[in-house]
Copies of this chain bind each other. A is one copy, B any other.
């Protein structure tokens, strides 16, 4: 009823930022899928902290330890459990715990919900660190999809008002997605990327932070995958993407810009291509109609808020004494988590798509 996702694949995410370890149990993966641990490591590294000066200097290997569900390198089909030890936590004791609610964090809401019993160190269960097991699960699912020629990729669409090019929702290719995966700062237009990096640097210097938008594409999903109404591809992606802390918006295809369009502009006309495949000339629907894949690229965008932990003084409350106080958040924080969130968004997409794919009668 809380930190698990129960579709066809089920995820049970656990852990607190400064607890013993975090991790995930993934149930209902198909049996007999080879796990490429080197590729897993590379995928996870894209999310890992400490990559460069755009990110927090907290270094952690963050390599998940798979304890079940894999045998001789292949998935067994039984639940796959993995955990990541918290090795670099800097706060093994509770003595210095603040009762000041950090603005933009779940400190206050979590304390109410859990009657003050939750582990608040480093954000506890609400920490961005909990995206590591999600990323791991999505990396696994991505390997299974790639073997069926389904590819996922994402880029930073916007940071602080600086906008990258958008994906061409018709022609987006495996090569383009792959190129982004290998970029340290994944944008299509590197010049825009350089500007973003400059703005992130400025924000860091000002002890401030920045948010942004990530655009994600999944290509080659066969048409007909998904379900109507509450269990469509959009619903499943939404439930997972809003499970990433800091996400405040999600749109598919033309998204919010549909409010400016006529039906004759927004409708994607169908045609049969030279190979006999049904396609659409445009892709405002983002590859999903009625919750079900159309065979066109799946395209969505997620809005990520600026890191709430900033080094500037802010007004807040002492939750214990109910007094008004000032707070300057100390410690190591990313001035912009958008770059590290890119693989997390891809991971969410992979999990949703694979989960629906497995219900597809012809899945092999």
Contact = CB atoms under 8 A, between A and B. Distances in A.
Contact of A270 (B22, B71, B103, B271): B103
Interface in A223-268: 223-232, 234-235, 238-240, 242-243, 245, 247-268
A312 interface: yes
Contact of A317 (B12, B261, B271): B271
A343 interface: no
B79 A270 contact: no
A231 B243 CA distance: 8
A49 interface: no
B110 A292 contact: yes
Interface in A313-364: 314-317, 319, 322-324, 359, 361, 363-364
Interface string A1-44: 11111111011111110011111010110011000000000000
Interface string A63-100: 00111110110111111110100000000001000000
A76 B266 contact: no
Nearest to A313: B264
B262 A208 contact: yes
Interface string A205-230: 01011111100000000011111111
Interface residues of A, number: 153
Interface string A269-294: 11110001010110011101111111
Contact of A118 (B78, B116, B248, B250): B78
B235 A243 contact: yes
Contacts of A74: 117
Number of identical monomers bound together in the oligomeric complex: 4
Nearest to A25: B12
A242 B253 CA distance: 13
Given A1-B27, A3-B79, A230-B239, 12 more contacts: A3-B231, A15-B68, A16-B68, A78-B125, A104-B267, A108-B270, A109-B226, A230-B243, A238-B239, A248-B251, A265-B306, A266-B305
Contacts of A258: 211, 248-249, 303-306
16 contacts: A20-B65, A23-B67, A31-B113, A31-B115, A32-B116, A101-B270, A104-B268, A112-B223, A125-B228, A209-B264, A234-B242, A249-B256, A258-B306, A261-B305, A269-B314, A276-B322
A106 interface: yes
A310 interface: yes
A119 interface: yes
A143 interface: no
B71 A229 contact: no
Interface stretch (A158-166, A168-176, A178-186): A158-166
A130 B276 CA distance: 33
B364 A361 contact: yes
A124 interface: yes
A308 interface: yes
A1 B12 contact: no
A250 B272 contact: no
Contacts of A105: 289-290
Contacts of A238: 235, 238-239, 242, 250
B270 A316 contact: yes
Nearest to A276: B322
A28 to B, nearest CB: 5
